[in-house]
Amino acid sequence: MRDRIVIKWGGGLITDKSLMCTPNLEVLNDLASTVAACVENGFEVILVHGAGSFGHLRSKKWRLNEGYIEGMKRPDDSDCTSQLDAVHRVRSEMLELNQHVCEALESCQLIPHVHPPHTWATNTGPDFSGSLEGFESNSAGTVHVTFGDVVSVEGEKQFGILSGDDLVARIAVELPRVQRLVFAIGGVDGLLRVPPKEATDEDLIERWSPDVAFEGIHESEIDVTGGIGLKASRGALVASHDVDVIMVNGGIRERVMAAMLGEPVRGTIITKKQ
């Protein structure tokens, strides 16, 4: 029985966040090669990816994170007709991004097994519902893949955004033999003591627990989920179940590789509340 590594590829890392539905294919190919190397090293990898410009912009415009809003007016420059239309569009755009992810994996001879959350998960947040059974089987070369998505929500809300950060948290805690959870993020080396624009190399927090303050940009004009703060808090939740958790700069292949294999690397190790 092989040990498992769960990795989250942040949406800001694998897409150009300012341009609607634009993947970063170079980064995707680099990241896929790290998954292949881990599989060659005898690990099972479960991959969860974010949305970046494939999910956040349209979801934000149509306030999909707030659920159904009776009588919501069509935003000025929207090409959707209603919130429900936007729900379908975001789901299909997420499948489109996932297709790029799968192509990158396949080019490394891996076999992706995709589980789109809107087909098996309901409700949002760390206690969302849905069986993780589908992620358990594994034959050599298969990589289970899922992603942040618009899912059904019980009651008046009808739908909401399930973040990949909530998916990794449940997967890392509930599946057996998970050794490590790695967050590969875009543009920063980990959690920082000062805002990213002002940070020097010394401002990286190398070991973080929820009682330590940090500064992270949360682009609330763009993001419908919780930005780096959500990753930190879900990371701490996972760490409290004795799974190693680390956040690294996903734009640097060697760091992602080392983090996945558990080797010392520049990044932020996340621990439970002290």
Residue with smaller CB distance to ligand IPE, 12 or 190: 12
Eight-class DSSP state of 42:
T
Residue with smaller CB distance to ligand IPE, 60 or 180: 60
In whole angstroms, how close is the CB of 149 to ligand IPE at the nearest point? Answer: 6
Q: Tell me the C-alpha to C-alpha distance, in Å, between residue 244 and each of 68, 181, 233.
A: 38, 6, 14
Shortest CA distance to 245 belongs to which of 263, 210, 269, 211?
269
Residue with smaller CB distance to ligand IPE, 96 or 254: 96
In whole angstroms, how close is the CB of 2 to ligand IPE at the nearest point? Answer: 25
**What are the residue ranges of helices labelled H in the chain?**
11-14, 25-40, 56-61, 83-106, 164-174, 227-239, 253-261
Residues that bind ligand IPE in the complex, under the rule CB under 6 A: 10-12, 50-52, 55-56, 59, 90, 94, 148-150, 161, 163-165, 224-225
Q: What's the gap between Cα 242 and its chain centre?
A: 20
Query: For residues 95 and 101, is the Cβ–Cβ distance under 8 A?
Result: no
Residue with smaller CB distance to ligand IPE, 16 or 215: 16
Residue with smaller CB distance to ligand IPE, 166 or 189: 166
Amino acid identity for residue 80 in this structure: C
Neighbours of 79 (CB within 10 A): 9
In whole angstroms, how close is the CB of 200 to ligand IPE at the nearest point? Answer: 26
In whole angstroms, how close is the CB of 1 to ligand IPE at the nearest point? Answer: 28
Query: For residues 94 and 147, is the Cβ–Cβ distance under 8 A?
Result: yes
In whole angstroms, how close is the CB of 107 to ligand IPE at the nearest point? Answer: 22
Residue with smaller CB distance to ligand IPE, 9 or 43: 9
In whole angstroms, how close is the CB of 225 to ligand IPE at the nearest point? Answer: 3
